[in-house]
Structure 1
Amino acid sequence: MPRIPKGALIVSCQARADNPLHGPIFMSAMARAAAAGGAKGFRANGVEDVAAIRALTTCPIVGIDKVFDDEYPVYITPAFAHAARIAQAGADIVGLDATPRRRNGEPVGTLIGRIRSELGREVFADVSTLEEGQAAAAYGATYVATTLSGYTEETAALKEKGPDLDLVEALVRAVPVPVVAEGRFDTPELVAAAFARGAHAVVVGTAITNPREITKTFVRAAAPWAGEGNAGAP
């Protein structure tokens, strides 16, 4: 199985059901475009998208299976059955929520162990804190990623502060496995900052593969001038 190379940009090709680009045709096209731009790997959600991207690249794929359930806060590959179908679809690496929150599946340590031993896949552990990253590494995760910093109750206050570069650096110092920076990296400068803090690789999603959200940022910039007509036009 290919590993994530050091210094790699990983592009997250995901679109929820309400997104006009939802589906394997569009996500595989996004991956093809990202590969042409120099991406060295991909993160993808669901069997269909993983399989479609697998068909066009030999680069490593971090596959996840999002299963939303109002009763459980964990939705990123919560159980072994979800990991198994993602692996079968062609994911080299299985991504999962490695926080200790309630999940409709095996305890995270058990899940990581089964993915490694029964599926023969590497594990990409999404965490939100240093302690969670240390635990994931101890359980056998191949990579620890800052994906969930800002997206758990404990870390929610960090969401508006940009990427959690401090967590990247703390994990690099504390765990014996490669640390991947992910979450709100929306400029090249922030990507460079993550590598400067010791990140093995960086995942970028929305800023590359979500035109709807990218458009919103430009619309917000234009908002003060909205409705003024052509008064200032030549």
Structure 2
Amino acid sequence: MHMHPLLKKVKGGLIVSCQALENEPLFGSETMKKMAKAAMMGGAVGIRANTGADINEMKKAGISPVIGLVKRDYKDSEIYITPTLREVDEVVEAGADVIAFDATGRVRPDGQSLSQFVEQIKRNYPGHLLMGDISTLEEGIFAAHLGIDMISTTLCGYTPQTSHYESFNKELLVGLIHKTDVPVIAEGRVDTPELCAECIRLGALAVVVGSAITRPQLITKRFVNEMPDIKDV
């Protein structure tokens, strides 16, 4: 089966999610560009980035491919990863190679269905690859049915029906690989090199790692939490 050149490029590799929210110390497009460059220097095959400004800085620096998204809150929906066409436009205008968005079954802003949303994107940007972030096997199967180019396990553990998952869901990854005919990306709580490698062996096209690489405050906290308490000794 023919594989898109971009998918070939990331096959078997590590994609690093370089994102920082406004309340985090590393927030800012210049910092995220440097983070992305460091990740690529370390052997990453691609970058996942949030906001048009960050994507634009990375693309100007020659980083490719960039999986783009825009996180934005809407009062009438829990969805915040590229919820509407407004965010899709920002991602494309910034130069992203792939449009990433929430493809869960939750209600979208203005009550729009996922089917309508995907149809709109395909009509407006027929040349762009689409990455659907899902949380369950059923959502992944439906996303594949809609013709989304790749499925990512990003949101498992972050939706009401999957909130009981506190670690990476290998069963979901394997289920998606066996029950869909589109490439599957392992993402969400992939926090060790060993787990990263296991995901590839299980059949993931590629693996996305974010916090375990790019959020120093969380990385530091993991170390601090393991330190023995010797203050009273």
- TM-score between both structures, scaled by the size of structure 1: 0.92
**Map of 2:210 onto structure 1:** 205
Amino acid corresponding to residue 108 of structure 1 in structure 2:
L
State the Cα distance separating 1:153 from its structure 2 match.
0.5
Q: Give 1:57 deviation, angstroms.
A: 2.7
- Structure 2 alignment gaps of length 5 or more: none
Post-superposition shift, 1:37? 0.4
Cα 1:73/1:178, change in 2 over 3 Å? same
Shift of 1:116: 2.5
For residues 5 and 100 of structure 2, what CA distance do their matches in structure 1 show? 15
Residue 115 (1) aligns with residue 121 (2) = yes
How many residues end up aligned between the 2 structures? 226
Q: Report the counterpart of residue 6 of structure 2 in structure 1.
A: 3
Task: For residue 83 of structure 2, give the secondary structure of its aligned residue in structure 1.
Answer: coil
Q: Deviations over 1:163-218 (max 9, x none)?
A: 11111100000111100000000100000111111100000000111001101111
Aligned twin of 1:78 = 83
Q: What's the CA shift for 1:81?
A: 1.5
Runs of at least 4 residues of structure 1 off by over 3 A?
A: none
Q: Distance in 2 between matches of 1:64 and 1:170?
A: 25
State, as a whole percentage, how many aligned pairs show the same letter. Answer: 41
Deviation at 1:140, TM superposition (A): 1.3
* Aligned counterparts of 1:129 and 1:8: Cα–Cα separation in 2: 23
The 8 Å contact of residues 131 and 149 in structure 2, kept in 1 or not, is answered as yes
1:104 alignment partner in structure 2: 109
Q: Which amino acid aligns with 2:31?
A: F
Distance in 2 between the 1:122 and 1:104 partners?
A: 22
Cα distance in 2 for partners of 1:33, 1:167 equals 31
Shift of 1:58: 4.3
Read off the aligned partner of 1:113 and give its amino acid letter.
E
Consecutive unaligned residues in structure 1, runs of 5 or more: none
Q: Which residue of 2 aligns with 1:29?
A: 34
Query: Aligned partner of 2:44: which letter?
Result: A
Structure-2 separation of matches of 1:32 and 1:186: 20
Alignment partner for residue 134 of structure 1, among 125, 130, 141? 141
Secondary structure class of the residue paired with 1:110: helix
Please state if 1:13 is matched with 2:18.
yes
| 1:65 is the counterpart of 2:65 | no
* SS of residue matched to 2:154: coil
Q: Does 1:217 align with 2:222?
A: yes
Give the partner amino acid of 1:127: I
Which residue of structure 2 lines up, in the alignment, with residue 176 of structure 1?
A: 181
Contact 1:2–1:60, Cα closer than 8 Å, also in 2: no
State the Cα distance separating 1:86 from its structure 2 match.
0.7
Q: Take 1:88 and 1:48, find their aligned partners in 2: how far apart are those partners?
A: 10
Alignment of 1:148-159 (within 5 A): 148-158=155-165
Give yes or no for contact 1:172–1:179 (8 Å, CA) kept in 2.
Answer: yes
Query: Which residue number corresponds to residue 131 of structure 2?
Result: 124
- The separation in 1 between residues aligned to 2:90 and 2:23, in whole angstroms, is 23
Cα deviation 1:35-58 (Å, max 9, x = unaligned): 000101111001101101111234
Q: C-alpha separation between the residues in 2 aligned to 1:7 and 1:192?
A: 9
In structure 2, which of residues 71, 90, 94 is the aligned counterpart of residue 89 of structure 1?
Answer: 94
Q: CA deviation at 1:26?
A: 0.7
Contact 1:113 1:140 in 2 (8 A): no
Tell me which residue corresponds to 1:147: 154
TM-score by length of 2: 0.92
Contact 2:37 2:63 in 1 (8 A): no
